[in-house]
Amino acid sequence: MIRIVNDSKLPQFNLALEEYAINYLDPKHPYVIIWQNEPTVVIGRNQNTLAEVNLKYVQENNIHVVRRLSGGGAVYHDLGNLNFTFIVDGEKGVVSNFEFFTRPVVRALQSLGVNAEFSGRNDITIDGKKFSGNAQYWSRNRLLHHGTILFNSDLSVVQEALNVKADKLQSKGVKSVRSRVTNIYPYLKTPITIEEFKEVLLKFMQEEQTGPDIILTPEQIAEVEKIKAERYDNWEWNFGESPECEITKEQRFAGGKLELHFNVINGLIQDMKIFGDFFGTLPITELAGRLNGTPYRRADAAALLDEIDFSQYCLGIKPDEFLDCLFE
């Protein structure tokens, strides 16, 4: 098992590195990567981002939101969390065999006196509480298995970042299953740092190292950066790829009650209907029609409202109030 050395903390780069490694590194070897992210919500491939993320909270707290290639549920990463990736031949014995890849994690923790165990479909738990979720992606007869390890993460942020605030939201995407979660750190018999734990983990993941560590060349880094720019930096991938969802938002302002019903399909506002007890001189259906086809992000909706005399549609309601209702 050859280690790919990666010190980046940027989630867009780290996910691009996984994609580069599975598609372009020598397929004769198995690889492992241990990596960390700045505060990030990572969305599963088949999920609706809006249905998983407290958008207002992550924006206010500068938390990245990035979609990965693998399926499964949304997870929160910060610098108290470790992530691990295996890239191996996609043989029948390992595809969907989550327990096989979590075994080194369990054994590493048992060596530290922590009674961890594989649980359910793709989790590792301590005392019934989840600290690791795992997912897989298959490409070119190769399998990528990656997982999270909550070592000493801020669990209060986990709850806030993954707590959707929409009044009503029904999504056709795969929903995350919320579980009781815990960190590893409180269970350690002898406290160690996350860096020390990383070394213990690598020892169990690299029982038979088949070659020297790989440090990416400038040319390889440039290829990873290209993948990052083309996919993981893009709103269209992180949000626009979401399955459609049906949303209802409502708020009351000094100018009256506002109620919005709409879909988000491929990241675009569709089927917008606006109701309320406000007044206006132009038909509200006209404003709804203008909003249809707009990317569901505040900057795009704000730009559209700047082009019109909004007060003619919603007298007494300010454009920023309308945007608050639409996005909070």
The pLDDT of residue 202: 93
The pLDDT of residue 48: 83
Give mean pLDDT in consecutive 10-residue pieces for the chain, a chain of 328 residues: 96 98 94 97 89 90 96 93 94 78 95 93 91 90 94 93 69 69 95 96 82 93 98 95 85 89 92 87 91 96 96 92 93
Provide the strand spans (E) within the chain.
2-5, 31-35, 40-43, 64-67, 75-77, 81-89, 116-119, 123-126, 129-139, 142-150, 168-171, 214-215, 245-253, 256-265, 268-276
Nearest to 77 by CA among 104, 58, 101, 100: 58
CB-CB contact of 149 with 194 (8 Å)? no
Facing residues of 123 across strands? 119, 133
d(CA 287, CA 291): 6
- Does the domain spanning 2-240 belong to CATH 3.40.640.10? no
The pLDDT of residue 216: 97
The pLDDT of residue 328: 83
The pLDDT of residue 210: 67
Facing residues of 144 across strands? 87, 137
The pLDDT of residue 191: 94
Alpha helices in 148-212 (DSSP H): 155-161, 194-205
Angle at 166 between CA 171 and CA 275, to 5 degrees: 95
The pLDDT of residue 257: 87
The pLDDT of residue 289: 96
Residue ranges of domains in the chain: 2-240, 245-327
Place of tokens 């740092």: 193
The pLDDT of residue 91: 78
Which CATH architecture does the domain made up of 245-327 adopt?
2-Layer Sandwich (3.30)
The reply to whether 245-327 shares the fold of 2-240 is: no
